[in-house]
Amino acid sequence: MAIFDPSEKEEYLATQCLGYDRYSCHWYFLERVDVQGKYGLVCGEEMEDCGTDSKIILQPVYNEIRVCKISSPKAVYDKYAVFVNGNQMGIFTLVLNSWVLCHQHN
């Protein structure tokens, strides 16, 4: 599904399905999008019979986006540190689609 441009390339970075959602095939995902050499970040939900709903987290204006899981295996919601152009921009929580920006990012 193209969000920014028909020629964009998507790369899944993370997926999560909560235990009680498995019966309904409800998945959450985080993906990096490459649009003509610039990167953005998209999160979304996918339900088997209802399709996909995507939300833009970062517009594709960055040279590099790197995502590292920071939550423990026992955490209910997976958390990821998001780095853009070498600096940590914030923390993203899957399922809640919660985005917390870091104050030190310029």
Contacts of 22 (CB under 8 A, 6+ apart): none
Query: Rounded to a whole number, what is the distance in angstroms from the first to the last CA of the chain?
Result: 31
Q: Which of 53, 55, 54, 4 is nearest to 33 (CA)?
A: 4
- CA 106-99-30 angle, 5° bins: 110
The boundaries of the domain holding residue 54 are 9-101
* Residue 4 falls inside a structural domain: no
Please check whether residue 79 lies inside any domain of the structure. Answer: yes
Within-domain flag for 106 = no
74-98: pLDDT as tens digits = 888 999 999 999 999 999 999 888 8
List pLDDT tens digits, range 15-47.
888 766 455 677 889 999 999 999 999 998 887
How many separate domains does the chain show? 1
What pLDDT is stored for residue 105 in this prediction?
47
Total count of residues recorded for the chain: 106
* Domain membership flag for residue 30: yes
pLDDT of residue 1: 54
pTM of the predicted model as reported, rounded to 2 decimal places:
0.82
